[in-house]
């Protein structure tokens, strides 16, 4: 006999943690849309955000809000430096070269974290409210619930900014046709920087939330693996895909984890990935690109 | 198609665009070898030439996509050779593309409004709160775009349509509308009527004339349709193998032996044609 209340609770938790996937996937899609770069280091940028927060909040004992701000700005700066020094020089090179550079970037970031903070797991200072959240009869872990709330607010904010601000319009135009955007007076290199900085900042917030739920370590970049699944399922260049895919993968992981056992989480996720790739290779909401020679 | 002679007065003052011994090479291939000409304000100037003559390379160099290895581009007397494309756009140099380069997935109106992008100043907070500058700029842009450009180009009925759903001729027109939204001093059109039927071509020719006559915008175009070039242009520049082989009034250029040779490929094509004609005549007699 199926326990509906239990299922509801599991689903709710899945959706909530899916919110974090959605947020991180949004960071990935932003860079891909604007610059066509597959940033494999997205999980590691998340990690840098979490560690910077750890440094500001725990080591320097700054107030939480200041530590968050510092971590977001610091990671944004990292995004700018990465774009300027590693990505822009590769403009016009084959996508696989740029992809490999981001693989290297991931290793460099892990190495940096291990040099500065060692490979030990650490706990972030508690700052999310501790009262359990009840939705109907379903119980939601407070960290997961508030984390999802923060993710939701940030996602809405990002979408509004890119909908109504002309920088967002410039980004969409660049994503659509670089040459036309350039001739329209849009500073395409600056749009590239903007995309990387914004992506890094969003990743930082996601990293802080992920870290405060599960602790931080130099291997927390594997979170990026699930994010990759999310964006491939949703479609690399689709914001809607990132959001729907995030929630969907969160749900799949939660259901598989509870009904099949924790070791089946990744298996289920990758089965979904394979199925989606077989049916819609460009993702659920991705652009079906026609290569013209 | 209108064929009234253009007023000579408009072509007399100092050039709005000057190209001086422009040289551009891709590796060992020399796309442009010392190209020079002037565009008079208020004129319609056409660049013609056989395929691969360097017309589009010339356009890309003038609009800032390519850096020439030698030579200068002057816009209203100012040297813009080293300026990046977006800044040239801000100065008033707008262009369209040979293969339509619209922002797919956006509506006609959004595409046109993007033309004004570089002139807007509202920042992210203005935009989010939709206050002050953002509201004022948006209202102003809407009025200008809707009342002038959309009416002018007769695309009112498709303003909310996604551009990717439009037929080719209309897409070309939307691209021109977007260029006009940039408030250009010089409008550069890369093959504005390529692939169009007779009717669409005549519409476009009328728009090009009106842009010059009513809006006072100087037009520089690359075009293959000889009929249209000869009807519309005040000045024709002929390129072949990256060099100017002739320039001047349409009639003069048309009868230039060098130009005829470039288009027909030496004299033997003429000889071939005579031979064919002779053969046909013999066949008809028999």
pLDDT score of B255 more than 80: yes
With CB atoms and an 8 Å threshold, state whether A177 touches B94: no
Smallest CA–CA distance, residue B87 to chain A, in Å, is: 6
Could you tell me the maximum CA-CA distance found in chain B, to the nearest angstrom? 85
Q: Measured between CA atoms, how close is A163 to chain B, in angstroms?
A: 9
Q: Which residues of A touch B120 (CB under 8 A)?
A: 166
Quickly state the pLDDT bin for A171 (edges 50, 70, 90).
confident
pLDDT at residue B152 in the model: 85
Task: Kindly list the residues from chain A whose CB atom is less than 8 angstroms away from the CB atom of residue B127.
Answer: 161, 164-166
Q: Which ranges in chain B are annotated with CATH 3.40.50.300?
A: 1-92+184-255
CA distance readout (Å), B107 to A148, A180, B174, B268: 34, 15, 10, 51
Of the candidates B63, B97, B103, the beta carbon closest to that of A176 is on B103
% pLDDT > 70, chain B: 81
| A170 reaches B (C-beta below 8 A) | yes
A186 shares contact with chain B (CB less than 8 Å): yes
Q: How confident is the model at residue A115 (pLDDT cuts 50, 70, 90)?
A: very high
Per-residue pLDDT, averaged over B184-193, amounts to 92
Q: How far apart are CA A145 and CA B173, in angstroms?
A: 51
Which chain B residue's Cα is nearest to A186?
B86
pLDDT at B129: 58
Starting at the edge strand found earlier in the chain, the sheet holding B29-39 runs B29-39, B17-26, B70-75, B78-79
Residues 6+ apart with CB under 8 A from A195: A30, A31, A33, A34, A35, A83, A171
Residue pair A146/A129 in contact by the 8 Å Cβ criterion: yes
A5 Cα distance to chain centroid: 30
Check residues B269 and A59 and name the one with the higher pLDDT. Answer: A59
Q: With residue B72 as reference, give the H or E element that holds it.
A: strand B70-75
In the block, tokens 């590693």 appear at: A86
Q: Give the closest-approach CA distance of B98 to chain A in angstroms.
A: 11
For residue A237, what pLDDT is reported?
A: 85
CATH 3.40.50.300 for domain B1-92+184-255, yes or no, is yes
Put simply, whether A91 touches B (Cβ < 8 Å) is: no
Distance in angstroms (rounded) separating the CA atoms of residues A62 and A83:
29
Would you call B133 exposed, middle or buried from its count of C-beta atoms within 10 A (0-12, 13-18, 19+)?
Answer: middle
Single out the residue of A67, A16, A23 nearest to residue A45, CA to CA.
Answer: A23
CB contact under 8 A, B130 and A164: yes
Least confident range of A28-37, A66-75, B104-113 = B104-113
Q: Residue B103 and residue A173: Cβ atoms within 8 Å?
A: yes
pLDDT at B266: 53
pLDDT tens digits, residue range B170-183? 898 899 999 988 88
* Averaged pLDDT for residues A98-109: 94
* Between residues B12 and B112, the one the model is more confident about: B112
Q: Residue A16 pLDDT > 70, yes or no?
A: yes
Give the C-alpha separation, A15 to A275, whole Å.
Answer: 21
Higher pLDDT, B43 or A285: B43
Q: How far apart are CA B36 and CA B24, in angstroms?
A: 12
- pLDDT for B169 equals 85
pLDDT at A1: 55
Complex ipTM > 0.95:
no
- A176 and B94 within 8 Å at the Cβ level: the answer is no
Asked whether the predicted pLDDT for residue A217 surpasses 70, the reply is yes
Model pLDDT for residues B223-232, shown as the tens digit of each residue: 888 888 888 9
Pairs across A and B, CB distance < 8 A: 74
H or E stretch covering B65: none
Question: What's the pTM?
Answer: 0.80
The C-alpha atoms of residue B24 and residue A171 are separated, in whole angstroms, by: 31
- The DSSP bridge partners found for residue B78 are B75
Whole-number pLDDT of residue B2: 45
Mutation pick from A163, A164, A166 vs chain B, by most beta carbons of B within 10 Å, is A166
Q: Measured between CB atoms, does A60 come within 8 Å of chain B?
A: no
Task: Answer whether B114 sits within 8 Å of A173, measured CB to CB.
Answer: yes
- Residue B280: its pLDDT value, please? 64
């Amino acid at each position: 006999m199926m326990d509906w209340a239990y299922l509801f609770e599991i689903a709710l938790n899945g959706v909530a943690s899916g919110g974090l996937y959605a947020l991180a996937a949004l960071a990935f899609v932003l860079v891909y849309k604007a610059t066509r770069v597959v940033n494999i280091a997205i999980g590691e940028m998340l990690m840098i955000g979490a560690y910077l927060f750890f440094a500001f909040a725990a080591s320097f004992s700054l107030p939480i809000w200041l530590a968050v701000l510092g971590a977001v700005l610091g990671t944004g700066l990292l995004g700018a430096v990465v774009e300027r020094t590693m990505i822009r020089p590769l403009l016009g090179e084959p996508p696989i070269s740029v992809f490999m550079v981001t693989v290297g970037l991931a290793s460099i970031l892990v190495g940096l974290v291990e040099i500065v903070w060692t490979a030990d797991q650490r706990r972030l200072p508690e700052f999310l409210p501790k009262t359990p959240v009840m939705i109907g009869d379903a119980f939601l872990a407070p960290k997961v619930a508030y984390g999802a709330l923060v993710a939701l607010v940030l996602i809405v904010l990002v979408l509004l900014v890119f909908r109504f601000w002309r920088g967002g319009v410039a980004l969409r135009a660049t994503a659509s046709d670089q040459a036309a955007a350039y001739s329209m007076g849009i500073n395409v290199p600056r749009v590239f920087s903007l995309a990387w900085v914004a992506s890094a900042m969003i990743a930082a917030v996601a990293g802080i939330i992920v870290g405060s739920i599960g602790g931080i370590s130099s291997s927390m970049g594997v979170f990026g693996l699930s994010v990759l699944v999310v964006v491939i399922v949703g479609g690399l260049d689709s914001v809607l895909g990132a959001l729907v895919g995030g929630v969907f993968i969160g749900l799949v992981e939660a259901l598989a984890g509870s009904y099949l056992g924790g070791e089946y989480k990744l298996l289920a996720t990758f089965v979904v990935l394979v199925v989606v790739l077989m049916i819609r290779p460009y993702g659920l909401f991705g652009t079906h690109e026609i290569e013209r020679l | 198609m209108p064929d009234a002679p253009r007023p000579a007065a408009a072509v007399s003052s100092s050039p709005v665009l000057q190209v001086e011994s422009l040289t551009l090479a891709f590796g060992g291939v020399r796309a442009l070898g010392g190209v020079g000409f002037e565009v008079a304000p208020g004129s319609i100037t056409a660049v013609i030439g056989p395929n691969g003559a360097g017309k589009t390379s010339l356009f890309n160099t003038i609009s800032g996509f390519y850096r020439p290895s030698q030579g200068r581009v002057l816009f209203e007397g100012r040297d813009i050779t080293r300026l990046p494309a977006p800044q040239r756009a801000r100065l008033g140099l707008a262009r369209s593309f040979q293969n339509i380069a619209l922002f797919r997935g956006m509506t006609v109106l959004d595409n046109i409004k993007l033309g004004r992008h570089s002139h807007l100043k509202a920042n992210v907070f203005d935009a989010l709160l939709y206050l002050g500058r953002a509201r004022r700029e948006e209202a102003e842009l809407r009025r200008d775009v809707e009342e002038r450009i959309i009416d002018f180009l007769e695309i009112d009925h498709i303003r909310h349509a996604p551009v990717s759903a439009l037929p080719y001729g209309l897409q070309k027109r939307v691209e021109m509308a977007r260029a006009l939204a940039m408030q250009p001093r010089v409008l550069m059109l890369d093959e504005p009527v390529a692939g169009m039927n007779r009717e669409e071509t005549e519409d476009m020719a009328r728009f090009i004339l009106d842009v010059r006559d009513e809006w006072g915008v100087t037009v520089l175009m690359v075009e293959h349709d000889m009929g249209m070039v000869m009807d519309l242009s005040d000045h024709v520049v002929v390129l072949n193998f990256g060099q100017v082989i002739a320039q001047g009034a349409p009639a003069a250029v048309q009868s230039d032996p060098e130009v005829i040779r470039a288009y027909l490929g030496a004299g033997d094509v003429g000889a071939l044609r005579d031979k064919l004609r002779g053969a046909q005549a013999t066949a008809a007699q028999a």
